[in-house]
Structure 1
Amino acid sequence: MQNSAAPIMDEKTLRWMPWVIAIAFFMQSLDGTILNTALPSMARSLAEDPLRMQSVVIAYMLTIALLIPASGWIADRFGIKRIFFSAILLFSFGSLLCALSNSLTMLVAARIIQGLGGALMVPIGRLIVLRAYPRSELVRIMGFITIPGLLGPLLGPTLGGWMVEYLSWHWIFLINIPVGLLGCYAVKHFIPDLPGGGRTHFDGIGFILFGAAMVLITIALEGLGELHLPHMRVVLLLFAGMGCLAAYWLRA
């Protein structure tokens, strides 16, 4: 499965491919935290209770947690390059809808669309690296594309606060559009048509178990911070999530 395409790729493709994937990683991770300092300003603009604005962050995180388990099968079923391109395009389209939102309901729906794209970008980006490069290069390339993904959450709150202060909260989302369009162009030119992994059967039960585990654990972790859930409820959510994860592991 691995790396059969590497020998036929030219040097230019091998050089630029990690940059394309790294930018996608950065976009996805940045949007997980960039709203944190902008929520009060967004609440005033939308005439909403600031506490209700947390649903904008949670909708994005839960969508990513739910869809990631299916990303490998989706890539094998419909093509790695096609899905990676579609993921960046969908993320950019969701960003545009977020910027145009004039109500909390519309903003949450737009964030779900954005999350659908974000959920596919990171795992499929890693899949591209695994299938395009020889084993000897994997550690170096994986390290390179992971660093932007780690920087995104750190820079997000500061960048979001700066944009709200000097521009408006809409630019938090508008900035993704030119980057996303550039990413789509780069995917077309620097991401090869890699072979699939041969998976045709979709494990629906496994998807439900793993997806439920990710959602429950995500809610529990958010409950410790932004949601301020009672400690007992957080513990129950964590146990339920770990139980689903254990059931998935036993099934696998």
Structure 2
Amino acid sequence: MINPKLRNMALLVAGCYFMENLDSTIVTTAVPAMSRAFAVSSSAIGLVITSYMVTLAVLIPLSGWLAEYFGTRRVFLAAIAVFTLASLGCALSTSLPGLVAMRVLQGAGGAMMVPVGRVVVLQHTEKKDLMKIMSYLVWPGLISPAIAPLLGGLIVTHGSWKWLFLINLPLGAAGFAAAWKLIRIPPDSSAPKLDGTGVVLMGVGVGGLTYAAHMLADSSASWSSGLMMSAVSLLFTAAAILHLCRAAHPIVNLRVLKIRTFRTAQLSSSLYWIMVGSAPFLMTLLFQNIFGWSPTLAGGIVLFIFVGNIAIKPATTPLLNRFGFRNVLIASTLLGAITMLLSGIITAATPIALIALLALVSGIARSTALTGFSTIAYSDVPPEQVRHANAFASTSQNLAAAFGIAAATIALRAGEPLSRFFFGSVSKAGAYSIAFFLLAVMATLAAVGAARLQPGAGNALRRLQPQTAQASENKLLRQRCAPYICVFHLTVQPNAGANLPFTK
């Protein structure tokens, strides 16, 4: 039974994550309304989205050190307050520069809010409760991309774009009150000296990659500028990695990647997060631009992804307990790949009920896979390395989210010439088919990563049934004793060894 206070802390962090992640996706629905309000082009409004995502990317690695130095309680409360007040500032902005400035401030609050809260929860979670706790912490990242198109469309259609930010005020106030009551952790006087060089190199590298993702996603921007920005940012990222490997007290300790389960989970989940962020965006465009549906109908069908996320939640932990992390991850990532393949072949003539069912199954696969990856990532991480593991995981997840829309846009651009090769002619529908097929490849690569996990990976987190536990113990015993049995047979009965599997 999970400690009620720990569960409430996890729900608090999940609520903050939902609030932060929703703000990174819902604003896209209000781009036309904002461009009219400020009398600027839609591409200029892209700064409102980009500034927020870049600020998150730059400051997330710094969040763990700030929490150690100033105290988790102070930083977490300050982050919620900054995010909430910046949301009010966004709603009250009367010019584009003012709105962008408030979005930067909002991103600063978000960068401190979720990673710090997650570290608090993980450091106080026992291994046996990690699966349940991670299921709370993961769902906001799955839900917000699915409900943002519909929610944003309804707000902009029936109200003002300002309400996209004003809805954060009651959520922020409730979160601040809950954090004030729940979090009572004093400052850590043993915080190491700040790794300034690491902060700068990581900030420029990761922030530059995030900005490059948005440049590649912007159809009005040239490929060359986006690729150039990517190349320069990769150089800074490489320099940051070299520095972090050599520094005595790096801002993010990359030695945590020596832990096999953490390394594999991060690589595979990053690929899957890109697919997760791309699919709702692509589906919404497909339904509106190709099928001719209204924004409300398109958003309503995409909402079935959210229904799938929620519907499978009660069964996720029992599935992992029953079949093991490796088996569940392989099955769910492959199921996600299949849903992407099917999304690439549906047409306007496909019954809406079948399309809704496809979105539902996609949501089930997404939720199961990312809950499994997020949980097993911390299965072998020692307590003293949780902060660094969380900083790395938060940074990679934020980058994957930023590259989600970029990946969808790049896939659509690449889909047009590829559709001529595969279908004999260039068509918009063919470009979407190719884009979904490319996302299916990405999900399949995540499945390959899951297959590389050890069969017993994450067993320390599972609550095995007595028969299953005994079978696992017997299997391990046979594996350990096999060499000695082989030696015994070869010594006592030399000729008998010829038929043993160990000698073949």
Same fold (TM over 0.5): yes
Letter in 1 for 2:110: G
Q: Tell me the secondary structure at the aligned position of residue 200 of structure 1.
A: coil
Cα distance in 2, alignment partners of residues 13 and 142 from structure 1 = 15
Are 1:235 and 2:227 matched, yes or no?
Answer: yes
> CA shift at 1:226, angstroms?
2.5
Determine if the alignment matches structure 1 residue 22 to structure 2 residue 20.
Answer: no
Write the letter of the residue equivalent to 1:201.
Answer: K
Q: Which stretch shows the higher mean deviation, 182-191 or 221-230?
A: 221-230
Matches within 5 A, 1:42-53: 42-53=34-45
5 Å-filtered alignment, 1:18-97, equals 18-97=10-89
Q: Which residue of 2 aligns with 1:13?
A: 5
- Residue 165 (structure 2) pairs with residue 173 (structure 1): yes
CA distance in 2 between partners of 1:23 and 1:228 (Å): 35
Corresponding residue number in structure 2 for 1:135: 127
TM-superposed deviation, 1:38: 0.5
Alpha carbons of 1:196 and 1:131: their partners in 2 closer, same or farther (altered >3 Å)?
farther
Q: Is the 8 A contact 2:31 2:42 kept in 1?
A: yes
Offset at 1:208? 0.8
Residues 20 and 110 in structure 2, CA contact (< 8 A), matched pair in contact too: yes
User: Residues 249 and 243 from structure 1, CA distance in 2 versus in 1: closer, same or farther, beyond 3 angstroms?
Assistant: same
Indicate the residue corresponding to 2:137 in structure 1. 145
Cα distance in 1 for residues equivalent to 2:130 and 2:120 = 11
Q: Is the 8 A contact 2:80 2:175 kept in 1?
A: yes
- Bigger CA radius of gyration: 2
Q: Secondary structure at the match of 1:94?
A: helix
Asked if 1:199 corresponds to 2:191, the answer is: yes
Contact 1:63–1:116 (CA<8 Å) still a contact in 2? yes
Alpha-carbon shift at residue 144 of structure 1 (Å): 1.8
SS of match in other structure, 1:35: helix
The 8 Å contact of residues 30 and 153 in structure 1, kept in 2 or not, is answered as yes
Tell me if structure 1 keeps the 8 A contact 2:14–2:136: yes
| Contact 2:63/2:112, CA 8 A, preserved across alignment | yes
1:198 offset after TM fit, Å? 3.3
Q: Count the aligned residue pairs.
A: 243
Shift of 1:62: 1.1
Cα deviation 1:14-54 (Å, max 9, x = unaligned): 23111100000001100001110101111212222222111
Counterpart amino acid of 2:158? Y
Q: Is the 8 A contact 1:131 1:194 kept in 2?
A: no
If asked which structure has higher relative contact order (CA below 8 Å, sep 6+), I would say: 1
Check whether the contact 1:80–1:128 (CA below 8 A) recurs between aligned residues: yes
Q: Of the candidates 141, 145, 161, which is equivalent to residue 153 of structure 2?
A: 161
User: Counterpart in 2 of 1:122?
Assistant: 114
Bigger shift: residues 33-42 or 219-228: 219-228
Deviation at 1:125, TM superposition (A): 1.9
Quote the Cα distance in structure 1 between the aligned partners of 2:184 and 2:115: 17
CA distance in 1, matches of 2:234, 2:220: 21
**What is the CA distance between 1:185 and its match in structure 2?**
0.4
1:149 and 1:192 mapped to 2: Cα distance? 26
CA-CA distance at 1:229 after TM superposition: 3.0
- Give the Cα separation in 2 of the matches to 1:230 and 1:52: 15
Match in the other structure for 1:7: none
Q: CA deviation at 1:197?
A: 8.6
Q: Do the aligned partners of residues 60 and 197 (structure 1) sit closer, same or farther apart at CA in structure 2, a change above 3 Å counting? A: farther
Equivalence for 2:243: 251
Whole-Å separation in 2 of the counterparts to 1:15 and 1:146:
14
Percentage of pairs with the same residue: 39
**TM-score normalised by length of structure 2:** 0.46
Q: Which amino acid in structure 2 is aligned with residue 204 of structure 1?
A: G
**Cα contact 2:43–2:218 (8 A) shared by 1:** no
Structure 1: runs of 5+ lacking an equivalent: 1-9
Divergent runs of 4+, >3 A: 194-198
Offset at 1:73?
Answer: 0.8
**What TM-score, normalized by structure 1, do the two folds share?**
0.90
Quote the residue 1:220 is aligned against.
212
CA root-mean-square deviation: 1.8
